[in-house]
């Protein structure tokens, strides 16, 4: 099994400094977006997907676990949050908590099942589980089947911030994204993250060193699922609907594609990948099914020509860790 | 009772497709170490080739049964030569990602030209009608699909387990370097194996064309069910794939009769149960 990424070395102070500079740059750039005339809805959507891709990358890039069912967390948290906001009338902060908690529980259950097998089987199991949930949501009354949950009230966050104002919503989503990003960054560079990387590199050796790798994998899976769910709950406020598209296997594929384009196992790659793919969908919306074909071509060319992804190639050129 | 038998037959037919597809996946995985995500798309291509042959060339079902697997098999071998072979030695997951991309391309192109609705493909004259078995009415075509699939599955099993060629194949799965040292052209064998697996998928596509209509996305959802079948049965044994495929089809058919709401999900639920009870899958060999 060959390594997925170049980064097997421990964190150096220089790398840490580089990454913090890039993070500050990214945060500053995103903070000025509303004053540039860029369509904020597009950026908000991209931020939700960026967080989702980062959560997915935690599993694949650092744990070597390819989940082909991450849409189930996006969809589940979205449905639960939407239901809580619209039917139960919960305030936004509780709606987000409930949705994220649902994703965490789902992560516990599906993680426990899927880590029973390794490698390629793990991917097939996660895909099958998300398809199982897709059919459950298709039939469950509270999701309203093909119509989805629509017209979700945005409300006031903590009773103060009016989320129906695009500018307020933008900064709330941005803060949510940055918080999630930093949490993932912290996890990757913690002792927990180091064990995770050792599992990716050589699981039998990690076991022989006394690590209970199944517990680490399960924890990573739950963490990833919870953050993906958090992204799904945020997305409810942006899109104001929750529908079956978010649970479909093609969505899981898009999450994989974003991370692959940006760079598996890079810190900023999933963010770049998410913006690239969402922008592509935006600009090519008029081409109908050709978008799927183009996505397929990107998949194929990424795997065959630049497996490191955009950020991974850049980091390799600059010999920095990004 | 009539309805029960009818659903059992539908189950057996779906089971035939599961068996043919999971068999191909297992054979390909053994040689290439790749899970072929494009399998559903190639199954769909098989059905479309049959459709084109009939509507553009006036070539009937019986010829399509031979020509479609060969055409799609050659297409598969081109894919293997131009793309898949470069993945040797890389992590398994790249094979999954690459073939997923291929599936998106193939399905997207067909969707562009044929939309998402189904195209009709009529049952060949010789297999029209049905026979009354006393306890149920058996449409001849459906009976034919089950019997023919079973024969093809068993023939594949025989080819791999009982012939000289199959022995080379099994040896190359275990240790390709050693087999090459004996003067056997392993890369060519890998290409042919991929062609064989893909051809089986295309054959299933032709068989399903008169039953399920010809649709660009006909294989997209099917392949996910087949993945669950593969997780349940394991890819270690050819006979295991065949038996698991048919058995799960029958269970799905029974579910359609007794509790139709769960018929979409029963295979996935069974997968969960098997993983909880016997994590290595039914036919052993942990992966």
What are the distances in angstroms from CA A253 to CA A55, A275, A278, B257?
A: 14, 16, 13, 33
* Residue A217 in domain: yes
Substitution target from B87, B99, B227 for chain A, most A beta carbons within 10 A: B227
Domain of residue A123: give its range. Answer: 13-27+40-318
Q: Is residue A18 part of a domain?
A: yes
Pairing of strands B137-139, B130-132: antiparallel
Q: B226 lies in a domain?
A: no
B209: tokens are 């064309």
Q: Model confidence over A23-72: pLDDT tens digits?
A: 988 888 888 888 887 888 889 999 999 999 999 999 998 888 999 999 99
Has residue A209 been placed in a domain? yes
Within a 13 Å sphere around the CA of B158, how many CA atoms are in the beta-carbon half?
A: 6
Q: How many CB pairs under 8 A join A and B?
A: 134
Q: What is the mean pLDDT of residues A293-297?
A: 92
In tens, the pLDDT along A75-104 reads 999 999 999 988 898 888 899 999 999 999
Number of domains composing chain B:
1
Does B155 map to a domain? Answer: yes
Structural domain contains residue A1: no
When mean pLDDT is compared across A8-12, A187-191, B203-207, the lowest value belongs to A8-12
Strands A241-242 and A149-150: antiparallel
- DSSP H helices, A140-248, are 166-188, 191-201, 203-208, 213-239
- Residue B9 belongs to a domain: yes
Q: What does the block give as tokens for A244?
A: 């079956």
Q: Do B261 and A304 touch (CB under 8 A)?
A: no
Q: Do A119 and B287 touch (CB under 8 A)?
A: yes
pLDDT at A287: 81
Q: For A139, which of B111, B112, B261 is closest by C-beta distance?
A: B261
In a domain, residue A235? The reply is: yes
Residue A8 lies in a domain: no
Q: Is residue A240 part of a domain?
A: yes
Question: Which residues of chain B are within 8 Å of residue A300 when distances are taken between CB atoms?
Answer: 83, 98, 101-102, 105
Give the pLDDT of residue B283.
Answer: 66
Average pLDDT in chain A: 88
Mean local confidence (pLDDT), A194-207: 90
Average pLDDT rounded to a whole number, residues A139-151: 83
| B231 min Cα distance to partner chain A (Å) | 7
- Cα–Cα distance for residue pair B220/A292, rounded to 1 Å: 13
* Structure confidence at residue A9 (pLDDT): 53
The CA-based angle A64-A73-B227, given to 5 degrees, is 60
Q: Is the pLDDT of residue B49 over 90?
A: yes
**Domain residues for B54?**
2-218
Contact A299 B93 (CB under 8 A): no
Percent of all residues in chain B with a pLDDT value above 90, rounded to a whole number: 55
H or E segment to which residue B166 belongs: helix B164-174
Reply yes or no on whether the pLDDT at B62 is more than 90: yes
Is the predicted pLDDT of residue A227 greater than 70, yes or no?
yes
Domain membership of residue A191 (yes or no) is yes
Q: What is the CATH number of the domain that holds A49?
A: 1.10.3470
A201-204's contacts with Cβ under 8 Å and 24+ in sequence apart are A201/A3, A201/A8, A201/A64, A203/A118
**Are the CB atoms for A69 and A203 separated by under 8 Å?**
no
CB contact under 8 A, A297 and B101: yes
Summarised one tens digit per residue, pLDDT across range A115-129 is: 988 888 899 999 999
Segment B160-187 mean pLDDT? 89
Lowest average pLDDT, out of A148-152, A173-177, A245-249, goes to: A148-152
Residues in chain B closer than 8 A to A66 (CB atoms): 93, 96-97
Give domain status of residue B117, yes or no: yes
Q: How many domains does chain A have?
A: 1
Which chain B residues are Cβ-neighbours of A124 within 8 angstroms?
A: 35, 227-228, 230-231
Note the pLDDT tens digit of each residue in B241-285: 899 999 999 999 999 889 888 888 999 999 999 888 887 777 655
Judged by CB atoms closer than 8 Å, whether chains meet at B90 and A2 is answered as yes
Interface predicted TM-score of the whole assembly (ipTM), two decimals: 0.90
Round to whole Å and give the CA distance between B249 and A260.
Answer: 35
3-state secondary structure of B206: helix
Contact A242/A81 with Cβ under 8 angstroms? yes
What's the pLDDT at A146? 79
């Amino acid at each position: 099994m060959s390594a997925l990424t170049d980064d097997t070395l421990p964190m150096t102070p220089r790398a840490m400094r580089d990454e913090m500079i890039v993070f500050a740059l990214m945060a500053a750039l995103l903070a000025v977006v509303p004053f540039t005339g860029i369509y904020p809805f597009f950026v908000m959507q991209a931020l939700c997907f960026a967080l989702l891709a980062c959560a997915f990358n935690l599993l694949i890039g650092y744990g070597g676990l390819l989940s082909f069912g991450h849409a189930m967390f996006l969809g589940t948290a979205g449905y639960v949050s939407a239901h809580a906001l619209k039917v139960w009338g919960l305030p936004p902060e509780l709606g987000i908590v409930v949705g994220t908690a649902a994703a965490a529980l789902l992560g516990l259950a599906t993680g426990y099942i899927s880590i029973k097998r390794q490698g390629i089987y793990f991917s097939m199991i996660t895909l099958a589980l998300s398809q199982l949930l897709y059919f459950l949501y298709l039939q469950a009354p509270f999701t309203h089947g093909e119509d989805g949950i629509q017209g979700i009230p945005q409300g006031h966050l903590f009773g103060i911030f009016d989320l129906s104002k695009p500018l307020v919503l933008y900064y709330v989503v941005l803060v949510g994204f940055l918080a999630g990003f930093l949490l993932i960054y912290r996890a990757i560079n913690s002792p927990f993250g180091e064990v995770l990387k050792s599992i990716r590199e050589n699981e039998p050796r990690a076991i022989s060193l006394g690590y209970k790798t199944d517990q680490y994998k399960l924890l990573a899976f739950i963490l990833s699922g919870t953050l993906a769910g958090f992204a799904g709950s945020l997305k409810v406020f942006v899109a104001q609907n929750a529908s079956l598209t978010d649970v479909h296997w093609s969505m899981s594929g898009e999450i994989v594609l974003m991370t692959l384009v940006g760079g598996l196992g890079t810190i900023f790659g999933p963010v770049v990948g998410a913006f690239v793919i969402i922008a592509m969908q935006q600009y090519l919306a008029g081409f109908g099914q050709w978008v799927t074909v183009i996505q397929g071509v990107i998949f194929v060319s990424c795997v065959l020509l630049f497996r490191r992804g955009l950020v991974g190639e850049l980091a390799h050129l600059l010999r920095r860790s990004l | 009772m009539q309805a029960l038998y009818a659903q059992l037959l539908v189950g057996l037919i779906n089971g035939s497709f599961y068996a043919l597809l999971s068999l191909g996946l297992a054979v390909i995985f053994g040689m290439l170490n790749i899970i072929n995500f494009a399998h559903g798309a190639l199954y769909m291509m098989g059905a479309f080739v049959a459709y084109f042959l009939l509507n553009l060339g006036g070539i009937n079902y019986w010829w399509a049964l031979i020509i479609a697997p060969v055409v799609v098999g050659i297409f598969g071998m081109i894919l293997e030569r131009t793309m898949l072979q470069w993945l040797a030695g890389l992590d398994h997951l790249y094979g999954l990602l690459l073939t997923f991309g291929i599936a998106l391309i193939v399905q997207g192109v067909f969707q562009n030209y044929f939309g998402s609705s189904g195209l009709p493909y009529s049952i060949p004259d010789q297999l029209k009608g049905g026979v009354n078995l006393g306890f149920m009415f058996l449409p001849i075509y459906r009976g034919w699909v089950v019997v023919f699939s079973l024969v093809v599955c068993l023939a594949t099993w025989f080819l791999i387990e009982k012939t000289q060629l199959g022995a080379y194949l099994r040896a190359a799965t275990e240790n390709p370097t050693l087999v090459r040292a004996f003067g056997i052209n392993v890369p060519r064998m890998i290409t042919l194996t991929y062609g064989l697996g893909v051809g089986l998928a295309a054959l299933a596509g032709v068989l399903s064309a008169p039953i399920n209509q010809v649709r660009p996305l006909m294989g997209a959802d099917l392949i996910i069910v087949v993945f669950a079948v593969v997780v349940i049965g394991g890819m270690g044994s050819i006979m295991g794939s065949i038996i698991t495929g048919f058995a799960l089809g029958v269970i799905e058919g029974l579910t359609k009769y007794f509790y139709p709401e769960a018929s979409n999900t029963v295979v996935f639920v069974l997968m969960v149960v098997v993983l909880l009870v016997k994590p290595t899958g039914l036919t052993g060999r942990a992966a």
